[in-house]
Chain A
Amino acid sequence: MKPQIKIVIAESSEIIRKGVAAVLKHIYHNVDFFYANELEQLKLALNRHKPDILFINPILVGSFGFNAFKKNILSANTKTVALQTVFLEQSILKDYDRAISIYDSEDFIGKKILSLINEPPEKDKPQNVLSMREKDVILGVIKGLTNKQIADKLCLSVHTIITHRRNIASKLQIHSAAGLTIYAISNKLVEVDD
């Protein structure tokens, strides 16, 4: 059984509210729905139900912008989906975690929503955690191997190695081989007598 989630749908048209709920019910069975048809009602609903996901028609928020709304009213754990009834600019949609249109297929909406549900909340996202491959690349770098040698050893392209190295540098803020050696020893990526 999938965990139960709470969804608030904020949209002025009842037909659209119910329609969206019906499609979502197909996609994810264990949902509690709450509705709001204007802002004041929405504030109450958010406050009372603390939903996991808010589906909202961006037109409802109006000109003062979704970011201000998110900051002042939404809890940080509530994910947001823009529900478009008309075509909207990307500059408006970028403030939402996902965007769907009432003309999208169930399949398409399903993929988007399931990926959103499975996404860990912002604060739980692993930060600066190295992948196994990146660790392998570090080991190569501190042994003094060239990018080409590391690529051959790991059966990857030189281009991929360069990408890994760039990601390592941005995750750890370490750019030199000598710095990576310190990191590798203190994080036990290498045996001490290696």
Chain B
Amino acid sequence: MYKPTDKMSLLVTSHYKMMLVMARFGIALGFGDKTIREVCAENQVDTNTFLAIVEALLDVENKTNFSVKEVSLKAVLKYLQNSHSYFLQFRLPAIREKLSEVLQNGNSELSKAVLFYFDEYVAEVKKHMNYEEKTVFPYILSLIEGKPKANYNIEMFARQHNQIEARLTEFKSIIIKYYPIKSTYELTSVLFDIFTCEEDLASHNAIENRLLVPKILKIEFDNLKI
């Protein structure tokens, strides 16, 4: 596991996807030989939270118990919010644009159906993320401030993620199995984008499921005892 005294460059060169984490925390590249703690401090990022997110993403077997980790929930929420805007404002629109370009050469009815499917999917992701920002995150903030909103608990939300991932997996398999289009570099490139986006979304959800939810469950549990 990475320590605050490890070099940031070591982490990023070993796991290039951590660049996404840095982008979401607003950490610029070009940090030379500085340690993780130094880079985080310079960018006003909580080092423990940064490392916990890195650990959650690398911990594919889900061994770590995050409910006992020292993290700043506010920092986690900020990370998640930035991650949402990454998907909604950058990643998914970019894929759609590429997709619609590739589809121009095919059967127009079919292309329309494929784009419709994609749009419906994006609308679903958006709805889910908006729900998190309007309902879940405010609830968590109220919890941090010690005045929890009634009538809600985090378990209600923990179950919703699988559906969203399943939808993108389905889309991928529909295109591969049923879309009769000549396999071109352009099409392959869009599909690769969809694959990586699927992975990114899964890791985004993993942060919520593995790090955020256990942490909140612990606070909810501790509140019960009082």
Contact = CB atoms under 8 A, between A and B. Distances in A.
Contacts of B114: 182
Contacts of B109: 185, 192
A192 B107 contact: yes
Given A176-B167, A186-B178, A186-B179, A181 B117 contact: yes
A181 B116 contact: yes
A105 interface: no
Contacts of A120: none
A44 interface: no
A185 B174 contact: no
A183 B117 CA distance: 11
Contacts of A192: 107, 109
B173 interface: yes
B117 A178 contact: yes
Contact of A187 (B166, B173, B178): B178
Contacts, number: 43
Interface in A165-194: 173-176, 178-179, 181-183, 185-187, 192
Interface in A81-105: none
B170 A174 contact: yes
Interface in B163-199: 166-167, 170-171, 173-174, 178-180
Interface in B17-55: none
Most chain-B Cβ atoms within 10 A of its Cβ — which of A174, A176, A183?
Answer: A176
Contacts of B120: 176, 178
Nearest to A181: B113
B110 interface: yes
Contacts of A182: 110, 113-114, 117, 174, 178-179
Contacts of B107: 185-186, 192
B174 A183 contact: yes
Contacts of B121: 178
Interface residues of A, number: 13
Nearest to B169: A173
Contacts of B179: 182, 186
Contact of B110 (A173, A175, A185): A185
A26 B179 CA distance: 52
Contacts of B180: 186
Contacts of A183: 174, 178
A178 B120 CA distance: 8
Nearest to B175: A182
A181 B121 CA distance: 14
Interface string B93-135: 0000000000000010110011011001100000000000000
B102 to A, nearest CB: 15
A186 B174 CA distance: 10
A174 B113 CA distance: 14
B119 to A, nearest CB: 9
Contacts of A185: 107, 109-110, 113
A173 to B, nearest CB: 6
Contacts of B178: 182-183, 186-187
A181 B170 CA distance: 13
A175 B174 contact: no
A192 B117 CA distance: 17
Given A185-B107, A192-B107, A173 B113 contact: no
Contacts of A181: 113, 116-117
A181 B166 CA distance: 18
B113 A176 contact: no
B163 to A, nearest CB: 10
A178 B116 contact: yes
Interface in B134-185: 166-167, 170-171, 173-174, 178-180
Interface of B: 107, 109-110, 113-114, 116-117, 120-121, 166-167, 170-171, 173-174, 178-180
| The 10 residue pairs across chains A and B that have the minimum distance between CB atoms | A178-B117, A181-B113, A185-B110, A182-B113, A186-B178, A192-B109, A178-B120, A183-B178, A179-B174, A182-B174
